[in-house]
């Protein structure tokens, strides 16, 4: 079920209405689980069985790990749990990709007939709920949390509908305690928490959802035609058009994905659940590492805690640190999809991070430099970082290898041809205007640290006027067909 449809609006109102009418705690939790399953089934049909399998698998292995009598048995249960999770993810997401690579090598070395593709359907959200589940079993293994008291509670953690399809990625130790009332000076919560729709959460959550809808339906969906037209086959376009389209895609994917995150966080907050932020003004990053502290925060921190640190992090030699950064971003790129263009994107960011770390190691004074006191240096750092970030968006978006290489060359080696560039602008006036508007508003949001909080604290009449204007903008620029969120395919 897409957030940007009337179906979701009706679904969400029904869910909130049931919570208001029904006060029984157990029924509320069971209803939330069933509503989440319905939300997922609405889009995925029979593939919901994979979600349920993952939930049952890790629920019981969490108990096995917790009750194991020694560390060797705990480790064995954890390995089996991870093998089940990653095996399922790998089979459905990468089996056909692996077969294609094997067939390519087979043709190159004349090894015989090709292996037929399995043509597997990619289960929506499998990358996300697999990572949710891993935080549960690993958390129990590390002693950071105890197993969920009931299957319903654990199933809600894995499948709660706002963040199920495209994140943010939840962690068990942060979400499970929210399902029970807190007890002072106790590690384990008390009885089930009743889901109450509080006024302060309602207003702030709806405001956040409005921001998300504007990002997605006003900006991302209306900038998309420019990106789709040029990047579907970039060969032949001039450098200025390639650069403009690269900027357009950077804005599109930010508005699309952060818009989804805003709606998810806002919807969860309305129901009283806190989901961590996923974006923090990433296009004002001053370094590659700063970018990953601001972009898709739930994924970058997951990769840090469950992959980078176990690999050794930066606790060993400098060369090992650079290798760890490269491996993490390589796998982070592959996580996004079974395609070499995502690998190229991940490798680029791995190289950025490794080089940045090497420079800081060589010149330690840079890590102590406060750029807030040096405006020109900060501006140059932002521009330089975004040049690299946007360059990496080209392989992320352009799937054709020849087109990708051509666009990357035009981005770096600029050849000015104003006539074709002007023709592109004339053909896509609205997307170009929205790019300019986004840059202005994004700068204003940077100057005002929390725009959502400021809007939600407006007087009711002013807040209602703001909401109405946003609604009109969406309706006036709505194309008539809801567009899927980009991260649905991951």
Q: Where are the alpha helices (DSSP H) in 177-304?
A: 199-213, 221-231, 239-270, 288-292, 297-303
| Cis ω for the linkage preceding 168 (within 30 of 0) | yes
Say which residues have a Cβ less than 8 Å from residue 310's Cβ, sequence separation at least 6.
Answer: none
**Measured distance CA(44)–CA(123) in Å, rounded:** 7
Cβ atoms of 275 and 269 within 8 Å: the answer is yes
- The helix-helix angle for 375-397 and 401-412 (nearest 10°) equals 160
Cβ atoms of 396 and 341 within 8 Å: the answer is yes
Neighbour tally for 23: CB within 10 Å:
11
Cβ atoms of 195 and 156 within 8 Å: the answer is no
**Measured distance CA(37)–CA(55) in Å, rounded:** 12
CA-only gyration radius of the chain, Å: 24
What is residue 134's three-state secondary structure?
helix
Largest pairwise CA distance in the chain = 74
Total residue count of the chain as it appears in this document: 490
Dihedral (CA of 65, 70, 71, 73) sign = negative
**Measured distance CA(361)–CA(322) in Å, rounded:** 11
Q: Which residues pair with 192 in a beta bridge?
A: 180
Segment holding 154, helix H or strand E: helix 151-159
Q: Which residues are catalytic?
A: 336
DSSP 187: S
In 3D space, the residue among 252, 258, 295, 249 whose CA is nearest the CA of residue 411 turns out to be: 249
Q: How far apart are the first and last CA of the chain?
A: 16
């Amino acid at each position: 079920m897409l957030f940007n449809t009337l179906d979701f609006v009706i679904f969400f109102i029904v869910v909130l209405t049931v919570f208001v009418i029904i006060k029984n705690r157990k029924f509320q939790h069971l209803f939330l689980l069933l509503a989440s399953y319905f939300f997922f089934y609405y889009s995925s049909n029979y593939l919901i069985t994979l979600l349920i399998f993952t939930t049952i698998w890790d629920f019981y292995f969490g108990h096995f790990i917790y009750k194991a009598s020694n560390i060797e048995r705990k480790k064995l249960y954890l390995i089996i749990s991870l093998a089940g999770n990653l095996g399922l993810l790998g089979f459905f997401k990468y089996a056909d990709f692996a077969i294609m690579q094997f067939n390519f090598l087979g043709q190159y070395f004349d090894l015989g007939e090709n292996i037929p593709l399995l043509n597997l359907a990619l289960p929506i959200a499998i990358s996300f709920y697999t990572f949710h589940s891993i935080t549960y079993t690993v958390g129990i293994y590390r002693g950071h949390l105890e197993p969920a008291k009931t299957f319903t509670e654990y199933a809600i953690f894995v499948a709660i509908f706002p963040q199920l399809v495209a994140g943010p990625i939840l962690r068990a130790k942060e979400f499970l305690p929210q399902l029970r009332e807190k007890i002072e000076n106790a590690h384990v919560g008390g009885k089930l928490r009743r889901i109450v729709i509080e006024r302060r959460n309602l207003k702030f959550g709806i405001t956040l959802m409005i921001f998300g809808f504007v990002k997605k339906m006003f900006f991302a969906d209306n900038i998309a035609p420019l990106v789709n037209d040029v990047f579907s086959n970039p060969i032949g376009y001039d450098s200025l058009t390639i650069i403009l389209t690269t900027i357009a895609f950077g804005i599109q994917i930010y508005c699309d994905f952060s818009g989804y995150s805003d709606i998810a966080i806002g919807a969860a907050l309305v129901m009283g659940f806190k989901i961590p932020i996923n974006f923090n003004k990433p296009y004002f990053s001053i370094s590659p590492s700063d970018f990953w502290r601001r972009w898709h925060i739930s994924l970058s921190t997951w990769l840090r805690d469950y992959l980078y640190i176990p690999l050794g992090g930066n606790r060993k030699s400098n060369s090992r640190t650079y290798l760890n950064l490269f491996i993490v971003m390589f796998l982070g790129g592959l996580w996004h999809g079974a395609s070499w263009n995502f690998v190229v994107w991940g490798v680029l960011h791995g190289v950025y991070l490794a080089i940045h770390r090497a420079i800081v190691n060589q010149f330690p004074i840079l890590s102590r430099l406060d750029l807030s006191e040096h405006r020109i240096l900060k501006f140059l750092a932002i521009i330089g970082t975004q040049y690299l970030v946007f360059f990496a968006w080209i392989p992320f978006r352009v799937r054709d290898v020849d087109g990708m290489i051509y666009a990357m060359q035009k981005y770096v080696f600029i050849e000015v041809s104003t006539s074709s560039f002007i023709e592109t602008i004339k053909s896509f006036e609205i997307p170009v205007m929205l790019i300019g508007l986004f840059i202005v508003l994004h700068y204003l949001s940077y100057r005002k640290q929390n725009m959502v909080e400021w809007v939600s604290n407006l007087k009711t009449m002013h807040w209602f006027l703001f909401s109405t204007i946003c609604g009109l903008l969406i309706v006036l620029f709505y194309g008539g067909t809801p567009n899927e969120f980009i991260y649905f395919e991951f």
